[in-house]
Amino acid sequence: MEIRKLAPHEEAPMPLLLLADPSPKLVEDYLKRGQCYVAVQDAAVVGVYVLIPTRPDTIELVNIAVDEAHQGKGIGKQLVLHAIEVAKASGYKTIEVGTGNSSLNQLALYQKCGFRMTWIDRDFFLRHYEEAIIENGIPLTDMVRFSQDI
């Protein structure tokens, strides 16, 4: 598997990005401001992530997704670790990421990759998404924020 920056002439893999964030408007907004990376296996895009600079010396991993047929194979972890290395090589000192309170696999993944919880943005998903989202049988309401010094 190869992880590479999306070429300027390539379209971002919207179906994959929308797995992690169901708002096309938000996804399109941060694609304009960030860098998109794709994981390619056997000529097919199987994973994606987007990094955007947020503050001096800080970058945020705003979207990370793995094609449903390829989940559970460690690709998500490879993408997170790749994002950390890209951020570090680009001179950033901190990388941040946020996920939903009901995103149990992601909560575990980020901590396994060295992130620490920093704060909770209460009612984030209620403010930013019109339709209710249920994940793992839990209402998605709060954004759990993580960071890592790199």
pLDDT in tens, 92-135: 999 999 999 999 999 999 999 999 999 999 999 999 888 888 99
Mean pLDDT of 133-138: 93
Specify the pTM: 0.92
Residue 10 has pLDDT above 90, yes or no: yes
CATH number for the domain harbouring residue 10: 3.40.630.30
C-alpha 108, offset from chain centre: 14
b/e string for 13-44 if b means 16 or more Cβ within 10 A? beebbebbbeeeeebeebbeebbbbbbeeeee
The domain tally of the chain equals 1
What are the pLDDT digits (tens) for 50-96? 999 999 999 999 999 999 999 999 999 999 999 999 999 999 999 99
C-alpha 116/C-alpha 97 separation (Å) is 10
Residue-range definition of the domain harbouring residue 74: 2-149
C-alpha 36/C-alpha 16 separation (Å) is 12
